[in-house]
Amino acid sequence: MRALTVLVDQLAVEKPDDVWAKSPIISSQGAAGWEDITFSLLKNAVDATADFIIRYLGPGAPDEVLAYMGVNDVRYPFVILAALKAGYKPLLPSPRNSKEGNVTLLEKTKCSKFLCSGEFFAHIATLSASMPSLLTVQIPSIDELLQPFTPTPMTPVGPSNIDDHETLMILHTSGTTGLPKPIRIKAGVAHTFESIISIPTPPGRTSTHCSLLLTRLVLSVTPFFHVFGINFLLRSLYYQKPIVLLPADKPPTAELILECILKTKPSALASAPSMLEDICRLPTGLSVLSTLDFVFYGGAPLAEACGNQISDVTSVYNGIGSIEVFFMPTLRLKNPKDWQYFEWNLEAGVVMEPTEENPHLAEAVIKRRADGKYQFAFWNFPELREWRTHDLFEQHPTKKGLWKFVGRLDDIIVLSNGEKVNPVAFEKIVDGHPWVQGALMLGVGHFQAGLLVEPSKDHQRDDEDKFIDKIWPLIEEANTEYPAYARVWKSSVILTKPEKPFKRASKGSTMRRATYKLYEAEIEKLYKAQEATVEEPASAEQSSVPEVQELVRKAIRSVLGSRAANLADDANIFQLGADSLQALQLSRILTSSRLKCNAKTVYDNPTVTQLAKAVSGAEDQNPENIISREEPCISTSPPKSPPAAFNVLLIGSTGSLGSYLLRELLDTSEISQIFCLNRSLDAHERQQKSFEARGLGTIPPSRVRFYTGETSAPDFGLEFPHDFDSLQQQTDIVIINAWPVNFNSPLESFEQVIAGTKQCADFSSGSPRKPHIVFVSSIASVLNSPAVRHVPGDGDEIVIGEDWDPDNSLPAKQGYGESKHVAASILSNALRAGHINSVAVLRVGQLAGAAEKSGVWNRQEWLPSLLKTSTTLSLLPSTLPSAIDWVPTDLAARYIVQLSLSSYHRSTTHVKTFNIVNPHVVPWSFLVPGIQEFYSPGRKIETIPYADWVAELKRISPTAADEQIAQMPALKLLDFFEGLNAAAAESDTGSQAEVRFATGHAVAKSKAMAGLEGINGRMMRKWMDEWRF
């Protein structure tokens, strides 16, 4: 057949300006667009690369092998074609292989020359310890290879023809059954690929692959060292249809793929299923995919829900193949909704043979046909009459000839990203522990591997955590034998239940699929839990940057192995071959070290230096820097006299507290106009629904105006500039009530609302009325005050006062409390500098349900969850770790409005601070009899100590099904309840002192708050009535 290099030379002459590929332009700031590489440029780059190979490595001897490893950019095709031109057989080891795996490939192919991109030079150099004769050379950059090149006498021209039985290139198996094995791809495979477009089909039918081969422009997410990637290289040459590549300096995330689709406008996307599933989760994912003619996937099953969503907006094509068989020709399905199924082309020679284990499942076996013209497998294995794929399929229930992939006959686990794992060796290692009866690896259709372990009879009742700790060293040993993508994390180990042992055949062997089916619910629960925690960073502990850098280095090395052996601090880990699974694994390692990190953090900061800075909070992520950065603007506009009636800008009105605030403002005679600023476009509609749900009446349009905007945006992001000017001219009081309530988020996640506080200060500064700013803060902003940190003695009462203190160590050690303190500090600084005239900071404590008005206390909060769970268990805590100083939400709104008016001052440099907590504290035990009485007609609820109640939750939690969690919602808040228990059991000083909040200032300035009574049985009965548990 015609050599590929000859084809490139011909295309450079016949179609010099036609586009071969769209390659990302990478600058120091990242991808800066895409450039067209024409066939003339391709020939230029191939010749330049071949000349480089000859100069540094010499010409290839007959059948000599040259290995290449690099970032996934256009240099892969350059090297593959240039190596052929220079007389070599290119070998393409995966960057994900272990060191042992790569040494094995080099030894079996007798390869002693290795070409690599700069990112992998140190990695390849580590192989020299095992192979001293290995010669490693770094390839030039893309820009250098695309520079105009004039062939020299040394530049090879390559053979004009190549025999179909001659090796074209060498790929390798994934190593799932041990070490990776080289597979010599024969030239006949490429020859068949060139002619596959003419494969016969039944009348009226077309081939699936024809769509892929002939579509205008394909965005391919697959790497070139993979058989899927080689398909697209051959497609670009034989059918002259260009491909688009993603930037190689970033991992192929769903967001990056969507960006590439929008900018390069391909007609199709070829991707692994896991990436499509990520795209489906993004708000704009489906709308962007709808711009494509079709989506093509392969390598693993695609989640049914995701596939159905995509098939509603564009066509979905499913492909199947392997290194050994390249791909198996199929027919386009008659009904697009059958996208999960395959219908074999007769020319593929596929015969479905039922399995002995399950007659409803069949193995796809490729039988050699008479001419074998369209069968790839028998070029690579000419001695065989059939190729057993070991792929298992299930026939469509009503449509004969349609088959859906369901698994592997040889127990291979196919992850959702297409990676394959042979679990047997792993399981055998773990089985060797005396405490283990059996072990099964998990992960079919999921992103990562897991492990189901059956304890031996003597250990079936052991504590789960202790059991896993005991066998963990053996799991770690097994992990070292497997590639990074196949390793099991500690959080992915689950144990069987004594009443549900592994399913075993009569000969004693484990029945893998039957056991998977038995534990289907538990396995799904495991993976749902893993997904739920992926993007939730933990709170950070303060460490120095050098300490964090060393921690990050160790974490990267543990994930990437030998690829990071000589890791430079400025090396991009994704250019070293890290993938999205390893980004996730790295983020979890750092999170477990109490550093703020999620997968996106790793994507955005792919070097040691960047990642250490991002997770350590070394620059902008501490209160001092944020406060100083958000310094308000200076205005010289003098204040006007106090108005006869006040106009109020209420920021955040549609939530529970916001709705009661709006009602109180309407009911207050001193208030004239109310301007409600919310982020939602339908705030007016939402507000009315909230009013209706709480029985708050109607909203008079003559007094209330709604605006959509965002305080952090210039001019509050209002649609019309004159709206901002109008608000600034009319507002007398600004109440800042909008704040995300998330106690797990780090400080930097609140930077947008903190910036909005600074904008509010600017708003006041530039207003002729110099509006008074009322900031609705939280007691969390002072929970780490010196009074709490340094308790004078056991039993003493700790009182937190109502004076403003700028000390940045005051907040509780979580982002929410810190963010409230930072925002208040910005306002305090603006006041002290004379930029604004008056500020009131209202520290609000635990808000309860409404006392006088309607409105159900959110059932998802901790107290309703506690009571719902207690009624299910018939067990109620007899005490709570802290006394009850709650304030009903409707009454809190009244106090906030009264304090906003009474603290109004024309000009002051003093921040007025108030604690809005109940001055009349009662113990939980005071409320318990009323709770028991309320539920007594239907059940008897016993009381137990709080610690025992939490212990009962911990006992139930590991095995709780979804139905149990619905009835015991406290299980979802177990960490919170354990935290309360720990706080009560021990403090830094061992003291059991009660924390109280002074309320003298608030009571003096709010007549209503002066009359507040403690939480009582009447209030509890009202709330329990509304919950209807």
Give pLDDT tens digits for 175-194: 654 578 999 999 999 999 99
Q: What percent of the chain has pLDDT over 90?
A: 51
Regarding predicted confidence, which is higher, 310 or 791?
310
Regarding predicted confidence, which is higher, 373 or 748?
373
Encoded amino acid at 722, one letter: H
- In the CATH scheme, what architecture does the domain 634-857+886-916 have? 3-Layer(aba) Sandwich (3.40)
Asked which of 184-188, 685-689, 937-941 is least confident by mean pLDDT, the reply is: 937-941
CATH 1.10.1200.10 residue window(s) in the chain:
545-619
- In the CATH scheme, what architecture does the domain 4-191 have? 3-Layer(aba) Sandwich (3.40)
Residues contacting 777, CB < 8 A, separation 6+: 820, 821, 823, 824, 841, 842, 843, 844
The 3-state DSSP class for residue 475 equals helix
Residues contacting 463, CB < 8 A, separation 6+: none
The 3-state DSSP class for residue 704 equals strand
- What CA–CA distance (Å, rounded) separates 92 from 568? 24
Residues contacting 506, CB < 8 A, separation 6+: none
CATH 3.40.50.980 residue window(s) in the chain:
4-191
pLDDT confidence tier of residue 541, bands split at 50, 70 and 90: very low
Tell me the whole-structure pTM to 2 decimals: 0.52
Asked which of 480-489, 607-616, 644-653 is least confident by mean pLDDT, the reply is: 480-489
pLDDT above 90 (res 714): no
- What CA–CA distance (Å, rounded) separates 793 from 669? 48
CATH 3.30.300.30 residue window(s) in the chain:
423-533
pLDDT above 70 (res 686): yes
CATH 3.40.50.720 residue window(s) in the chain:
634-857+886-916
Regarding predicted confidence, which is higher, 342 or 966?
342
260's tokens:
């590439």
Give CATH for domain 423-533.
3.30.300.30
- In the CATH scheme, what architecture does the domain 199-408 have? 3-Layer(aba) Sandwich (3.40)
pLDDT above 70 (res 974): yes
- What CA–CA distance (Å, rounded) separates 946 from 923? 13
Regarding predicted confidence, which is higher, 855 or 616?
855
Give CATH for domain 545-619.
1.10.1200.10
Of 168, 145, 326, 158, residue with least CA distance to 232: 326
First to last CA, the chain: 77
Regarding predicted confidence, which is higher, 487 or 50?
50
- What CA–CA distance (Å, rounded) separates 75 from 53? 13
Encoded amino acid at 908, one letter: T
- Cβ atoms of 192 and 375 closer than 8 Å: yes
- What CA–CA distance (Å, rounded) separates 770 from 792? 43
